[in-house]
Structure 1
Amino acid sequence: MNFNFLSPVSDLVLAHNELLSQQALGRKLRIHSKQKGIPDLEGVSIALIGVLENRNDHNYIGEEFQLNEIRKAFYALFHGSWNTIIADLGDINKGESVEDTYFALKTTIAILIEKKIIPVIIGGTQDLTYANYRAYDALMPMVNIVNVDCKFNLGDSAKPIKNNSFVGKIILDQPYNLFNYATIGYQTYFNSQEEIDLMEKLYFEYYRLGQVSTNIALVEPVLRDANIVSIDLNSIKSAELSLNQKYSPNGFDGKEICAIARYAGISNKVSSFGIYEYKPSKDDEITSMLMAQMIWYFIEGVNYRVKDDDFIDENTYQKYITLVEDQELIFYKSIKTGRWWIEIPFLTEVNNKLKRHTLLSCMHQDYLDACNNKIPDRWYKAFQKNCI
């Protein structure tokens, strides 16, 4: 396998790791080091990758950064009751150009996903999500992206890509593989009305910060359908972060962002997970520890994944049929986990690209709404996307 793009974990971090308890996570990882090279990936389920690229920050001033403090915080945490084998593959350094970094990240992610290893990307600027998305070009026909962010990041696709305007490039660049884009935790005052209107016009999903904070379980179905989850640290309120990282007094708290990370891990479809917009500073311990805990909760979720959505065996699910505005809606409930799905009968073999989306994750509330003659919002948007 070609992992030539990856540089090893620093000796400073490895020396720190040697001082940790034998029960610490860092002592159980397979780590890319100068002495031993790339570790054996046989049996590995999750691989950490740092990406030291921040040149597309719209406020870029040329500062360099590293991810040592995040690794030290993560290594010092204790292992959960997991069977998951984890590797730390080191960092992708800045390429000659940003496009070179994109190519390195895209190639590395594609290799890992083909080996059924989930890459956990630590950035760097959030435009790296574009490279993550392009890694799927040869892997699957349609991709769902969930962005945990206070902004939509749509931008003008005609202008050069930046960390606050990369989604427009994802939408408009060929090949067209994007099925759904969802933003969790957006704050209205950070988004123009034109962007809000465009999200609605494209039938993308968006969940306000207040909605999610009131009921964190609201985002579980959209994360269950995601392939790529991208988290912008600017979605977290400044009180939870170190000095250089502070952005807004409003945002998710530590408990909420870790719950979102765990939902992402539990999803059987999430095959890459990234945390972006890290800006290290001397006052760095809080951000590093929060990122370490987010990664920990994602791994916790992956360890407790349950395959409950094939619906082949009639003894494993319950089927419910409702009639809403002359439209027959068919729901499925997993007996094993209690999770719900809704059938989308119009996504048929006529459109082979969308064939895999015939079941859409939903909540019990969506079934209750259907019983009260209200069409679920997620179902409606999926239907409209098929009609565009």
Structure 2
Amino acid sequence: MNFEDFIISPRSFKTESWQIGSRISKGIKEGSIVLLFVSDYRGVGGDAEMQDFTGVRKEFYKLSQLDFEVPVIDLGDLVSGKTVEDSHYILQEVLSACHYKNAVPVIIGGSNDFAFSLFSALNFHQKNINYTQISNIISLKQGESINEQTFLSKILGSKNFSIKNYHHLGYQKHLNETDSIKLIKEVQFDIVRLAEMMNSTEKTEPFFRKADLVTVNCDAVESFNDPFSMNPQVNGLNKREICAYMKEIGLSDNLQSVGIFNYNIYSDNQLNHQLLAQMLWYLIEGINIQRSHPKERHYEMFYVLIDDTEYAFRRDVFSNLWFFGKDENIENCIPCSRKDFDEAKKGWLNPRLMKI
């Protein structure tokens, strides 16, 4: 099967030389960022008809390209399959082609269950995946069909998938079943409430630092005027916060794949289109910054004594980012924040760090 038969190329837009649209090309390139727009919303109770992403593209194309060096590809719009499973299969073929060329696919639109395809395609190419999801909902429902309520249980429960860490950020207590939250905690995956993500990215930045896969459920973003997402919420990350988190996603050392799902493509609101376009822009900015970082890093070691036990923290001299653990291989240390170090000096150690 040639997946290109299922992709409709994007139309061209007139842009200035300083705008990012002037450097966007077609066709998957080695080491590039590949944008693909998806219209299948059946997993969230919508339809699979082709939708018009022109409004989002116009807003995105006219943003500044700054000094970005990583090639940006707009692959186009994915034609939905006859069934949801068909759409997942076609998408996985596209994703796999991107991974073969060390490109970072960014899937925009479609329902939240397409995170399953992102995980499945990446799992074919590597093991021990670090997966971070921003979503206001934690659903671990079982079922044969795949939708936004069952996809996470299919990922976490599959014997064929290799997951190293799962971080769930932005959940809201009043929208979730208590049992799902308890189960996530029992298996020692990290779970962070919306309130802990507001105003600053410092506390949750460590959950993005080594992420291979990050997906964003737009339902975790507050709606204004027109609904921003398929399940609009009055509470959520605000416009500035979600853009700041998109940049943190791009700064991940290991980023292989990104999904932005449940965006309300049925909206004609220009401000919604602008926000999604700027979310993409900040993601790309983060990736460009990360690619410019030196490959060789140097670390300072700090020791903290708590109840006669010595604990080690390490600071990246270049980035000023912190890690917990004394292992010479930084990959075996746990990303943490400066606040974790400061709290340890006061005698309190974050329980999350004891997983080491």
Instruction: With the length of structure 1 as denominator, give the TM-score of the two structures.
Output: 0.84
- Please list every run of 5 or more consecutive structure 1 residues that lacks an aligned counterpart in the other structure: 32-38, 349-354, 384-388
Q: Is the 8 A contact 1:240 1:253 kept in 2?
A: no
Q: Is the 8 A contact 2:105 2:257 kept in 1?
A: yes
Q: Is the 8 A contact 2:226 2:267 kept in 1?
A: no
1:46 equivalent to 2:28? Answer no
Alignment counterpart, residue 363 of structure 1, candidates 325, 337, 341: 337
Structure 2 vs 1, CA of residues 358 and 344 (structure 1 numbering), >3 Å: closer, same or farther? farther
Correspondence 1:184-333 to 2 at 5 A: 184-239=169-224, 241-242=226-227, 247-281=232-266, 283-305=268-290, 307=293, 316-324=298-306, 328-333=310-315
Q: 1:157-176: CA deviations, max 9, x gaps? A: 34522113311110011213
Structure 2 vs 1, CA of residues 319 and 140 (structure 1 numbering), >3 Å: closer, same or farther? same
1:28 equivalent to 2:19? Answer no
Question: Could you tell me how far apart the structure 1 residues matched to 2:47 and 2:89 are?
Answer: 23
Q: 1:16-62: CA deviations, max 9, x gaps? A: x03x323222121003xxxxxxx3625x52110112221211x3366
Q: Is the 8 A contact 1:238 1:245 kept in 2?
A: no
Correspondence 1:34-113 to 2 at 5 A: 39=27, 41-42=29-30, 44-57=31-44, 59-60=45-46, 64-113=50-99
Structure 2 vs 1, CA of residues 78 and 6 (structure 1 numbering), >3 Å: closer, same or farther? farther
Question: Could you tell me how far apart the structure 1 residues matched to 2:273 and 2:222 are?
Answer: 15
Q: 1:115-158: CA deviations, max 9, x gaps? A: 22111111200100000001122322211111111112x32234
Correspondence 1:138-157 to 2 at 5 A: 138-152=124-138, 154-157=139-142
Structure 2 vs 1, CA of residues 241 and 331 (structure 1 numbering), >3 Å: closer, same or farther? farther
Residue of structure 2 equivalent to 1:34: none
| Local SS of the residue matching 2:216 | strand
Question: Could you tell me how far apart the structure 2 residues matched to 1:325 and 1:100 are?
Answer: 57
- Please list every run of 5 or more consecutive structure 2 residues that lacks an aligned counterpart in the other structure: none
Which amino acid in 2 is paired with 1:47?
Answer: V
Q: Is the 8 A contact 1:237 1:253 kept in 2?
A: yes
Q: Compare 78-87 and 288-297 and name the one that shifted more.
A: 78-87
Q: Is the 8 A contact 2:216 2:261 kept in 1?
A: yes
Structure 2 vs 1, CA of residues 189 and 68 (structure 1 numbering), >3 Å: closer, same or farther? same
Structure 2 vs 1, CA of residues 368 and 84 (structure 1 numbering), >3 Å: closer, same or farther? same
Residue of structure 2 equivalent to 1:117: 103
Q: How big is the alpha-carbon RMSD for the aligned residues of Structure 1 and Structure 2?
A: 2.6
| Local SS of the residue matching 1:144 | strand
Structure 2 vs 1, CA of residues 175 and 310 (structure 1 numbering), >3 Å: closer, same or farther? farther
Which amino acid in 2 is paired with 1:362?
Answer: C
| Local SS of the residue matching 2:59 | helix
| Local SS of the residue matching 2:347 | coil
Q: Is the 8 A contact 1:225 1:360 kept in 2?
A: no
Instruction: With the length of structure 2 as denominator, give the TM-score of the two structures.
Output: 0.91
Question: Could you tell me how far apart the structure 1 residues matched to 2:16 and 2:310 are?
Answer: 58
Which amino acid in 1 is paired with 2:194?
Answer: L
Q: 1:198-224: CA deviations, max 9, x gaps? A: 121111112211111143221111011
Question: Could you tell me how far apart the structure 1 residues matched to 2:102 and 2:324 are?
Answer: 27
Give the CA deviation at 1:99: 1.7
